Amino acid sequence: MILEMSMQQAVPPAAREVLERLEAAGYQANLVGGCVRDLLRGQTPQDWDVCTSALPDQVVEVFGEKQVRLTGLRHGTVTVLAGGRSFEVTTYRVESTYGDNRHPDRVNFTSSLREDLARRDFTINAMALDLRGRLTDPYQGQKDLKAGLIRCVGDPVLRFREDALRILRALRFSARLGFAIHGDTAAAMEAEKGNLAHLSAERVGSEVLGMVTGPGAGETLDRYRAVFLTALPLLAPAADCPQNCPYHYGTVYQHTVDALKYLDRGHAVPQTALAILFHDMGKPATRTTDPQGRDHFYGHAQAGAELCRQAMTALRYPNRLREEVAQLVELHSLQIAPTPAGARRLLNKVGEAQLRRLIEVIRCDTLAHTALARPRLETLEELSRCLDGVLEEASAFTLKQLAVNGRDLKSLGIPPGPRMGGILDALLQEVLAGSPNDRSALLERARQLASN
């Protein structure tokens, strides 16, 4: 099949140049994998991977040592620099036996594009495109792309046994593309999920992040719950945790995946998505049932923040991301004061970026409750309006933004030390409560406070 001209034109000149130079030297060269998939979906690919019949040494010869980087050589990959970008150029290869459910024991090159496509994970990722727009698609990837299906190339049970990471990649592509997983592939994921235990925590962490930030995350984690929970056993207690209370309609896990379904795409950043995933993980451990049979989860947000820290440390997420997510988890059940002063206090506590994320987390959380919780949405909207309003004011939310500083107080005769700190703090509290952040008024007030 020859691709439409408009799609061919979406290939950047530098990528063409890489293909042209390989062809001019007598080798086959194709774009392959994610970029072909994205091109066919009408999306702009992030990166352009090339596969070629040239051996790595030959690729180096074609481009010259100055234009290449050799970091991926063990896998037959040479990075080629062209037009200010880098391209991974990988020699056609077949993979042999897998000893550890993850890494092929050795890499064998081949001169056949079809053999190379056969080792790729899913049909939608096993298509190649050449300079003339000719698509090589031996596994009906295009058909699955149109149908919105993730399907293994070859026997799914064997493919997942070779490399258990593919199980998580299937979930990730499902969540990111909003695709269903073909029946045989889904059954094989379920059957082979035990091998997920062999994956490194870091890989699990990055795949989970890719999943939860995808637009279809809620649906994917809902449908393939057992597989997902095998990858993330720390969340498994939530799957069995009932919530007998009028504000809820399902288990903690059901509530969590439903909350993810409401996540606004503009807010699908790691902090917000992970906070929703982890927000109620403190519930199983804090659940109590009163004599009327109603469940309570006192302190679950604090307990959850601690468990979230543990989970994110185990998954090797960066410390800063972990702390931001844990803060959102800790604050998700906060009593909201939907007033300008309430918004200023929250700004002082967490800053604007975190506050906007917190509002989104609480919004999604609230939507995944019964209708009884709906009033909280109005409170939240009011808080959002107040937030926009107070950000327009020339106000201060931190000591740094206050119109007076330590030097000003010193010139009033207040010596540096705890007393000065106390006065600055009191001034900030008054500004947070609504007093103007006005220099002369604040100096006057500081004088008063100092004389008391």
Residues that bind ligand ATP (CB under 6 A): 33-34, 46, 49, 120-121, 125-126, 163, 165-166
CB of 387 to Mg ion, least distance (A): 37
Q: 141 vs 218, which CB is nearer to ligand ATP?
A: 141
Q: 34 vs 138, which CB is nearer to Mg ion?
A: 34
Q: 125 vs 354, which CB is nearer to Mg ion?
A: 125
CB of 37 to ligand ATP, least distance (A): 6
* Cα gap 287→74, rounded to integer Å: 51
Tell me which residue has its CB nearest to ligand ATP: 34
Answer yes or no: are the C-beta atoms of 170 and 150 closer than 8 Å.
yes
Answer yes or no: are the C-beta atoms of 350 and 331 closer than 8 Å.
yes
Answer yes or no: are the C-beta atoms of 139 and 123 closer than 8 Å.
yes
CB of 47 to Mg ion, least distance (A): 5
> Residue 166 touches which of ligand ATP, Mg ion, none (CB < 5 to 8 A by kind)?
ligand ATP
> Residue 165 touches which of Mg ion, ligand ATP, none (CB < 5 to 8 A by kind)?
ligand ATP
CB of 89 to Mg ion, least distance (A): 14
* Cα gap 230→160, rounded to integer Å: 14
User: What is the binding site for Mg ion (CB under 5 A)?
Assistant: 34
378's CB contacts (< 8 A; 6+ apart) are: none
Q: 41 vs 132, which CB is nearer to Mg ion?
A: 41
- Stretch (H or E) spanning 93: strand 93-95
Tell me which residue has its CB nearest to Mg ion: 34
Tell me which long-range contacts 33-37 makes (C-beta under 8 A, separation of at least 24): 33/120, 33/125, 33/126, 33/127, 34/125, 36/127, 36/128, 36/129, 36/135, 37/124, 37/125, 37/127, 37/141, 37/145
Amino acid type, 54: A
* Cα gap 30→374, rounded to integer Å: 54
Q: 165 vs 241, which CB is nearer to ligand ATP?
A: 165
Q: 207 vs 324, which CB is nearer to Mg ion?
A: 207
CB of 33 to ligand ATP, least distance (A): 3
Q: 72 vs 338, which CB is nearer to ligand ATP?
A: 72
Q: 81 vs 118, which CB is nearer to ligand ATP?
A: 118
CB of 124 to Mg ion, least distance (A): 13
CB of 372 to ligand ATP, least distance (A): 40
How far from chain centre, in Å, is Cα 337? 30
> Residue 344 touches which of Mg ion, ligand ATP, none (CB < 5 to 8 A by kind)?
none
CB of 88 to Mg ion, least distance (A): 8
> Residue 120 touches which of Mg ion, ligand ATP, none (CB < 5 to 8 A by kind)?
ligand ATP
359's CB contacts (< 8 A; 6+ apart) are: 380, 383, 384, 387
Structure tokens at 439: 């220099």
> Residue 163 touches which of ligand ATP, Mg ion, none (CB < 5 to 8 A by kind)?
ligand ATP
Q: 31 vs 347, which CB is nearer to Mg ion?
A: 31
- Residue 73 CB-density burial (10 A; 0-12 exposed, 13-18 middle, 19+ buried): middle
> Residue 125 touches which of ligand ATP, Mg ion, none (CB < 5 to 8 A by kind)?
ligand ATP
CA dihedral of 99, 104, 110, 114, whole degrees rounded to 10:
100
CB of 123 to ligand ATP, least distance (A): 10
At residue 88's C-alpha, the angle toward residues 147 and 51, to 5°, is 60
Q: DSSP state, 49?
A: E
